[in-house]
Amino acid sequence: MTNRSTSLYPAALRLANGNLLPRSRSRAAALAPNRQVTRNDVAALARVVPSTVSYVINNGPRSVSVEARERVLKAIATLGYHPSDVARSLRTRRTKTIGLVIPDITNPYYGEMTQAIEEVSFQRGYTVILGHSSHLPERELRYSQVLRSKQVDGVILLPETTDLEPVHFLQRAGIQVVILERIVTGYPCIIADEHHAGYLATRHLLELGHRGIGCIVLAGDSTSSVAREEGYRLALQEAGVSPQKNWILESESGYIAGDTVARCFLKLPERPTAVIAHNDLIAIGAMKAFSEAGLKVPGDISVIGFDDIAAASYVQPALTTIAYPKRQMGRAAAEMLINLVESGEIGFAGQQKLPVHLAVRGSAARPV
């Protein structure tokens, strides 16, 4: 496990022999009992000019003699000095922070993605400020305003509505933006192959012999859900199967929503033999509803999800799903954003599409 106490200062804050500096606040209390210790205090104790203290802390840009460096490091330890992030940001015009706004903090899919973004950011010396939009455009805009006021260096957004004002607001403020999960013209984007995902799921069921295939789409989602439905329709068309309108149902996200929409299928005079759900949460909720209604999964009805969250492998039967490169997408977005921030490149609007694959488990089988 990493010793967090060593991460407060860069490697420059070690003595020449490699040992960490001792921490002591007794001298600090004597010199500055009622105020925050400043760079000037360190410089005075070390008998150097204030700029030399900065060169030691930042490991440059000018070199410092071994003797002066030792004096500065000892003064920092004696006084308990912590460099001010605010002061540094005024000099560098960077805060070393990035914003991340996700639509659903309860969905493990976004949890894995967020973890990957945070890991890359931390490795690159950045702190992540997290916002939860709850799929609402007004929350996306509010978080964009807050992040601007925090003077973040860049923002990763996952906009799920047609309202792109939060994205444009950040761009007008001069803040670099990277878009995850959808294509927004004029912005750098990281996406998965959503159209192919819908196609893969449907083709798998068709190959098993299903012809009555229902589709659960996410209510209000004009991005990934639309692309998956297009892939679903294409696979049916290639197989010469016409989709039934009353077998394409909208749902909110979550286990309870999946349970609710599944019961809508059960009320139909003729139900499908298989259902494709917008995500694993909905799929797992649907499986519960089917089971409680006396149907066996996959004996009586097959179910396929999207995302491949950890729970998909642990439910019974294990959920067949379309696996998304969640961590890869998060890492790619963080690397792209930080590289753009540090290069100062303006106007980059490249797109990176990552592949998906079918994870075959136990919830889909040939129809009886």
pLDDT at 36: 77
Domain co-membership, 176 together with 210: no
Q: Which of the residue ranges 33-37, 47-51, 203-207, 246-250 would you say has the lowest mean pLDDT?
A: 33-37
Query: Model pTM?
Result: 0.77
- Domain with 334, as residue range(s), is 95-192+326-355
Quick check: is 280 in a domain? yes
Contacts of 52 (CB under 8 A, 6+ apart): 43, 46, 64, 68, 72
Same domain, 164 and 240: no
Please compute the mean of the pLDDT values over residues 43-68 and round it to a whole number. 86
Residue 360 covered by a domain? no
Is residue 361, in this structure, part of any structural domain at all? no
Domain total of the chain: 3
Q: What are the angstrom distances between the C-alpha of 223 and each of 10, 56, 89, 276?
A: 42, 49, 37, 17
Whether residue 111 sits in one domain with residue 79: no
Query: Does 18 share its domain with 161?
Result: no
> Same domain, yes or no, for 248 and 199?
yes
- Measured from the Cβ of residue 238, the count of other Cβ atoms closer than 10 Å reads 12
Among 24, 56, 83, which residue terminates a domain? 83
CATH assignment of the domain containing 285? 3.40.50.2300
Q: Are 188 and 244 found together in one domain? A: no
Q: Are residues 320 and 231 in the same domain?
A: yes
pLDDT for 286 equals 98
Q: Are residues 28 and 137 in the same domain?
A: no
Domain boundary among 60, 83, 106: 83
Q: What is the pLDDT of residues 57-88, one digit of tens each?
A: 777 778 889 999 999 999 888 888 877 655 55
The closest of 359, 337, 305, 345 to 190, measured between CA atoms, is 337
User: Do 313 and 198 fall within a single domain?
Assistant: yes
Position 282 in a domain: yes
| pLDDT reported for residue 92 | 52
